[in-house]
């Protein structure tokens, strides 16, 4: 009886030791390669996110370009109306109308300048994003490890 209790006790005492052992199936080198590959995937995701952002900003550039064309057209039409009220000899036909048209032409000219500034700022944003994309893609070319699994 004592022997069976002693055997059972020794079996139960050694079970936790056997259950705590872990035998890895991937070597440390392969783990490093997997971590490097994960970093490469994160970088490629970042590049794709930047490309999405670039396309959104380019859509805004197109909208601003249309607004710029409209503002330039308005400014040109206003200046033509203003010049049309002056006779060929330089005499003004109606001073109040000319003053009103010149104010409108000046306002349209300022609107065109503001639209041009917004357009240029948006283009600068897109160029900045493109520079970031090029930098990330350059980094990504250095991070293309091969995955090697070595099982034990």
Q: Is residue 4 part of a domain?
A: no
What would the mean pLDDT of 132-141 be, rounded to a whole number? Answer: 87
More confident residue, 131 or 12: 131
In this model, does residue 4 exceed pLDDT 90?
Answer: no
pLDDT-based confidence at 5, cuts 50/70/90?
confident
Q: Is residue 35 part of a domain?
A: yes
State the total domains in the chain.
1
Are the C-beta atoms of residues 147 and 37 closer than 8 Å to each other? yes
Q: Is residue 146 part of a domain?
A: no
Domain membership of residue 111 as a residue range: 26-141
Phi, psi of 86 (to 5 degrees): -105, 130
| Separation of alpha carbons 74 and 70, rounded Å | 6
Q: Is residue 2 part of a domain?
A: no
Q: pLDDT per residue over 61-71, tens digit each?
A: 999 999 888 98
More confident residue, 137 or 3: 137
Q: pLDDT per residue over 29-51, tens digit each?
A: 677 778 878 888 888 899 999 99
Q: Is residue 77 part of a domain?
A: yes
In this model, does residue 149 exceed pLDDT 60?
Answer: no
pLDDT of 22 reads 65
Q: Is residue 70 part of a domain?
A: yes
Q: Is residue 93 part of a domain?
A: yes
Q: Is residue 12 part of a domain?
A: no
């Amino acid at each position: 009886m004592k022997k069976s209790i002693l055997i059972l006790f020794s079996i139960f005492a050694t079970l936790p030791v056997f259950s705590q052992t872990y035998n890895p199936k991937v070597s440390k080198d392969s783990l490093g390669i997997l971590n490097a590959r994960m970093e490469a995937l994160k970088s490629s995701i970042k590049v794709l996110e930047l490309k999405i952002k670039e396309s959104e900003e380019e859509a805004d550039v197109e909208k601003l370009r249309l607004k710029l064309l409209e503002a330039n057209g308005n400014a040109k039409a206003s200046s033509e109306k203003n010049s049309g009220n002056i006779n060929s000899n330089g005499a003004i036909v109606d001073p109040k109308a000319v003053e009103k048209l010149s104010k409108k032409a000046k306002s349209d000219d300022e609107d065109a300048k503001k639209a041009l500034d917004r357009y240029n700022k948006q283009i600068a944003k897109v160029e900045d994003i493109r520079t970031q994309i090029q930098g990330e893609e350059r980094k990504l070319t250095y991070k293309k490890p091969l995955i090697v699994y070595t099982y034990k």
